[in-house]
Amino acid sequence: MDPVAKDFNNEQIDLAFLPKYEQVAFSSVSSKYLIKMNIQTGIFMLVLTIALGVFWFFQLNNMQSGIIFGFVLVAFIFRFWNNYKLLQSLGYAVREKDIIYKRGFIFNKTTVIPFNRVQHASISRGIWDKLLGISSLNIFTAGGGASDISIPGLEPEMAVQLKEAIAVKISHDES
Amino acid sequence: MMNPEAYSNPQRQSIAGILLIFISSIYKLFRSFWAVGAYLLVSGPSRTTLIYIGLALLLIGFLAFIYSYLYYRKFIFYIDYKREEFVLEKGIFSTENTAIPFDKIQQVYFKRSILQRIIKVYSLVIETAGSNLKEVEIKAVSEEDANKLSKILLKAKAEKTEETSLEEESEKTEENKEVFWTHKVGFLTLLKIGISTNYLRGLSLVFAFVMTIYNRVNTYFKDQVEDVEVYFDQFSGVLQSIGFLAILFVLLLLLSISITIIEVFIKYYGLTIQQNKDKMEVEMGLKTNTKISLQPRRLQLMRIKTNPVQKRLNLYEAQISLSSSENELQKNKIKIPGLGKEIVEKIKYFLYPESSKSSFSTTFRPDKLLLFRKISLATLPVVIFLAFWYFLDFINLKLGAILSISSLYIIAALILQILSFRARKLIFTEEFLQKKTGFWNKTDETLELFKIQSISVKQPIWYRRKNLVNVVFHTAGGDLKFYAVNTGIIQYVNYVLYKAEVSSKHWM
C-alpha cells in the first residue's frame, strides 16, 4: 500500500463546477489552409477529369461521359463546400492543463490531451505549407495514432510558440 | 573527458550516409519497378529501346544521387541543453522537426544492417514511450559519434529521471518475496476451455451440414421422377449420400474441437498465477514459456470475458493491456483464460485495490439510434441474399423457403441485437470507468480514470439534433469506445480529464 502523503485531502467534487472543455473559446486556423485544401482537391479533380477525357476519347460516347462528368462535378462541388465548412469547424484551444482540438463539419470530432500525457510535439511542413507559409503542429501521446492530434494551418511563428509552450508544460508537469 | 555541451551545434550524419541513402533509394526504386524492367527485357527490345532504357536508368541514378545528397544536407540533429531536448530535422520537400525531451527517452541503442556494416556506420535509435512509430532513427552515424551520443542521452535521461528511479530502487529493496497466493490451471480446466471456446466453429459446421442436406433433398424432389423403380433407386442413393455427409460432419466436428484443444494446450499449458506483495506473476505455454510480471502501475485496461456456457463451468478469461514499457519484446496484451470467479475477484482486488469504494456511480446507456443502426446492418445480408435470389438464379430455392429462412434470420438478428443493446452500458465511478457489453459473450472492461492518454468526443451531423455523441477514451493499452450516448456524458468527460490532470501518479 502507498503511504498516505502529508498534506493529503480529498474533498468531494461537484461535477457541475468542473471546468467545461466544451465551453472554451476556440482559436481558428489560417485561411491559407483552405487554399491548401482547395489546391489539393483541385489537383485531384484535374487528374480525374483528364482520365475521364482519355476514356471519352477512346471508349465512351458523349452521353456516358457527360453523366460521369456530372457526377464528378457534383462530388467536387461537395468537396469544395466541405473544405470550406471544414476550415470553419477547425479550432484549437490551450488551457492551463490541456490542449483541445476540434475539426470536422459532417463528422465533428473534439480531442482533449492533458499536457501531462504528451510524449512530444513536432512541427511539420509539406510543400504546399512552405509555399503558403503555414505549419502543422503534431502532438503525440502514448495512446497510439487515434489519440494523437495534428493541427494544420498555423502561422509558423504561432506553431513554434505553441510547441515551445507545450515543451515547457511537459517538463513542468513532470512529477 | 567529454565536452559537456557536445552536439549542441547542428550535426549531420556521417558523410558515408549519402551512400547509404543512395543505395537504399535505388533499392526501393528497383523493388517497385523490377517487374517492368523484366518485362521490357523479356519482350526482346530493339537496340534503340535498350539505349533509351540505359539513358533513363542513368538519369534516374543521377536524380537519386542528388536526392540523397539533399536529404543528407537537410538531415540535421542536435542536443538542446537549455531546453533539455534532442532535436531532429529532416526532409527536402517537406520538413519535419521532432524534439524529444530527455525524460521521455525510453531507450537508446544501435543497430546495423549488412550495408551499414560494409560502409562502417551505425543506426542510432532513440525510442520514446508508446508505439514504435514515434522512435527516431539516425541511419548513418560513425561509431565514435554513436557511442558519445548514446552516452550523453542516456546520462541526461538518467539525470532527469533520477528521482523516480531512486524511488523504484527503494521499492525493490523493500520487495517482499512472500507469496500471497498461487493459482494453477489444471489439465481438466484446459480441456474445458478447449471445448467451450470454439463452439462457434462447431455451430457453423452444423449449419453447413443442414444446408447441404436441404439442398440435396430439394433438388431430388424437384426432379419429380415418374418411374417408380428409378425413384426408389435414387432415393436410397440420396439416403446413402446423407449418411456419408453425416459421418463427414461428425469427423469435422471432432477435428475442429481437437484442434482447438491442442491450440489451448500449446498456448496455456502449465498456466500459473502467483501474487506476492507488489507484483503478480503469470507463467504459461508449452512450446514457448512466457513469463510476465504484472505491476498495477503498468496496467492500462482490463477485460473480463465469459459466456453463459463458460460461466456455468466457472471459466472467465482476463485480458490485460499493459503499457508498452521499455521492453519491446514484451507482449502488450495478455490473455489469461480459465479463471474461476474467486480468482478474478482476487486479481481485481490486487490490481484495483480501491475499486469497491465510490461516492457515486452513474450509468449511461446508448440511444435507440444505435440499436436501429445495428439492426439495419444485421439485416443487410438478407437484402443482399434476396437480391441475389431474385436477379440471378443459381440459388435453387422456392419462394416459401426463402421467406421462412429470411424471416427466421431477421427474427434471430432482432432478438440478438435487442438483447446485446440492452446489455451495453458505461458506468462511471469515482476512480473507474466500466464498460459492459454482450449478452452472450459478456465483456467487462475496466479503466482507471487517470490512466487515459486523451479523450475524443465525436458528433456526426445527424447526432446533433438528438443530442448524441460518440466518446472514445484513449489509453496506452487500447481505446475504450462508447457510441451514441446522450451529451450528459460530457460532464463526466470533464471529470475524467480533471482526474488525469490533477493526478501526479505515474500512468506507467
Q: What is the pLDDT of residue A51?
A: 87
Q: Does domain B17-163 have CATH number 2.30.29.30?
A: yes
- Write out chain A residues lying below 8 Å of B321, CB-based: none
Q: Is B81 on the interface with A (CB under 8 A)?
A: no
| pLDDT 10s digits, B383-442 | 888 888 777 766 666 777 778 888 888 999 899 999 999 999 999 988 899 999 988 889
Closest-approach residue (CA) in chain B for A130: B94
Contacts of residue B104, defined as CB under 8 A and 6 or more positions apart, other chains included, come to A119, A120, A170, B128, B129
| Residues in B 193-212 with any Cβ partner in A closer than 8 A | none
Contact B94 A129 (CB under 8 A): yes
Per the listing, cell 509558423 goes with A156
Contact criterion met (CB below 8 Å) for B432 and B352: yes
- Single out the residue of B18, B14, B24, B5 nearest to residue B79, CA to CA: B5
Q: What is the pLDDT of residue B134?
A: 55
* CA B328, B333, B335, B336 torsion-angle sign: positive
Fold agreement (B17-163, B295-365+424-502)? yes
Ranges under pLDDT 70 in chain B: 1-4, 129-135, 161-177, 198-203, 205, 216-238, 287-289, 324-332, 354-356, 393-397
| pLDDT 10s digits, B359-385 | 788 999 999 999 999 999 988 888 888
Contact criterion met (CB below 8 Å) for B209 and B203: no
Q: Flag whether pLDDT at A139 surpasses 80.
A: yes
Report the predicted TM-score, pTM, of the whole model to 2 decimal places: 0.71
| Residues in B 474-493 with any Cβ partner in A closer than 8 A | 474-476, 478-479, 490-493
Contact A18 B495 (CB under 8 A): yes
Instruction: Give CA–CA dist B468/B459, Å, rounded.
Output: 7
Average per-residue pLDDT for chain B: 80
User: H-helix or E-strand containing B327?
Assistant: none
Closest-approach residue (CA) in chain B for A128: B94
CATH number of B295-365+424-502: 2.30.29.30
Q: What is the pLDDT of residue B12?
A: 86
Q: What is the pLDDT of residue B112?
A: 78
B239 CB-side CA count, 13 A: 6
Q: Between these two residues, A77 and B323, which has the higher pLDDT value?
A: A77
Q: Is B459 on the interface with A (CB under 8 A)?
A: yes
Contacts of residue B218, defined as CB under 8 A and 6 or more positions apart, other chains included, come to B396, B397, B401
* ipTM of the modeled complex: 0.88
Query: Which residue in the set B95, B129, B491 is minimally distant from A142, CB to CB?
Result: B129
Instruction: Give CA–CA dist B280/B273, Å, rounded.
Output: 7
Domains in chain B: boundaries: 17-163, 178-294, 295-365+424-502, 371-421
Q: What is the pLDDT of residue B232?
A: 61
A91-173, CATH topology level: PH-domain like (2.30.29)
| Number of CB atoms found within 10 A of residue B292's CB | 16
